[in-house]
Amino acid sequence: MLDTAKVSPSILSADFLHLGEELDRVACADYIHVDVMDGHFVPNLSYGTTIVEAVRRATDLPIDVHMMVSNPDDTIDWYADAGADLITVHYEAATDLSRIIDRLHDRGLAAGVVLNPATPVYVLEDVLTRIDLVLIMSVNPGFGGQGFIEETYEKLRRLKRLCHEVGADPLIQVDGGVGTANARKLGEAGADVLVAGSAVFRAEDPGQVVNELRELATEGIRSGRAAL
147, 177 contact by CB (below 8 A): yes
63-92 pLDDT, tens digit per residue, is: 999 999 999 999 999 999 999 999 999 999
Residue 65 identity: V
How confident is the model at residue 1, as a pLDDT?
63
157, 124 contact by CB (below 8 A): no
How confident is the model at residue 47, as a pLDDT?
92
In the set 35, 38, 64, 132, the catalytic residue is 35
Measured in whole angstroms, the distance separating CA 1 from the mean position of its chain's CA atoms is 16
194, 164 contact by CB (below 8 A): no
Which of 159, 153, 162 minimizes the C-alpha distance to 183? 153
128-182 pLDDT, tens digit per residue, is: 999 999 999 999 987 666 689 999 999 999 999 999 999 999 999 999 999 999 9
Active-site residue flag, 96: no
| Mean pLDDT within 208-227 | 91
Share of the chain above pLDDT 90, in %: 92
Which of 26, 88, 89 minimizes the C-alpha distance to 55? 26
Q: 108: alpha, beta or left, given left = phi > 0 and alpha = psi -120 to 50? A: left
How confident is the model at residue 224, as a pLDDT?
77
* Mean of the per-residue pLDDT values of the chain: 95
Active-site residue flag, 73: no
In angstroms, the CA 110 to CA 162 distance is 21
Domains parsed from the chain with CATH numbers: 6-227 (3.20.20.70)
User: Helices marked H in the chain — which ranges?
Assistant: 19-25, 49-58, 72-82, 97-106, 152-166, 183-189, 198-201, 206-227
In the set 30, 64, 132, 175, the catalytic residue is 175
| Mean pLDDT within 185-193 | 98
166, 125 contact by CB (below 8 A): yes
Which of 193, 183, 195, 194 minimizes the C-alpha distance to 219? 183
